[in-house]
Amino acid sequence: MKEVSYVRSHGSKAQLVTVGIALSDEKYTISEGTYRRIGCPLSGDYLDEDDMRAIAREDGERRALARALKILSYADNSEKRLYTKLMVAGFEPAYAKFATEECVRLGYLCEKSQLERFTVRLAEELWGPKKIMARLISRGYAREDIGQAIERLTDSGAIDFQQSRRKLIEKKLGDNFTAEDKHKLFKKYGY
């Protein structure tokens, strides 16, 4: 049993309540719905272990989701990479998993569209499919998903590796080159 030291509402729009625990620095922010479900405790009331678990779980999920959204606001991340960043930040696996899945559900994390954007951008830099594959695998995307994105984009005409190879030769080798020069260049750029 833990004693409640204070309860603060965050206003009608946020619909959040912060519950402070007496004799500790513990404080948890939960929804008004959860606050009502645990009986609307006030200062001096006691919370049993089930109530504390519910409060801690919701607070942990809320904080993990807030951190995930902040991470995604800086750059696209694969599900695997986002989950790893949340774990490194100190969130429990269950909270990191919840936040990652919630970002996918809400549409803030869509690996398919991320892969297509990254693939087009790298192809515009004249990278070949092997180098694109290696780069995106290093960012936490699945090989199969990357292969499907490359296939979709080449089939639709969004990227053309034959044309990219010609541009690469013009840009890097000009008119005077050997077959060995061309082979080395294609290997370096992942063709």
DSSP assignment string, 108-138: S--HHHHHHHHHHHHHHTT--HHHHHHHHHH
The 10s digit of each residue's pLDDT in 24-41 is 989 999 999 999 999 999
Looking at the structure of the chain, the number of domains it has is 2
Is there a contact between 25 and 19 (Cβ–Cβ < 8 Å)? no
Residues 98 and 182 in one domain: no
pLDDT at 12: 64
pLDDT at 9: 87
pLDDT at 99: 98
Domain span at residue 139 reads: 111-189
Is there a contact between 96 and 79 (Cβ–Cβ < 8 Å)? no
pLDDT at 14: 66
Residues 74 and 124 in one domain: no
**In the chain, which residues have pLDDT < 50?**
none
Domain-terminating residue out of 75, 106, 137: 106
Residues 168 and 182 in one domain: yes
Q: Residue 155 CA to chain centroid, in angstroms?
A: 28
Is there a contact between 72 and 108 (Cβ–Cβ < 8 Å)? yes
Residues 28 and 97 in one domain: yes
* 83 burial level (CB within 10 Å; 0-12, 13-18, 19+): buried
Q: Buried (b) or exposed (e) across 136-155, using 16+ Cβ within 10 A? A: beebbbeeebbeebbeebbe
Residues 115 and 61 in one domain: no
Residues 70 and 135 in one domain: no
Residues 28 and 95 in one domain: yes
The DSSP output letter for 48 is: -
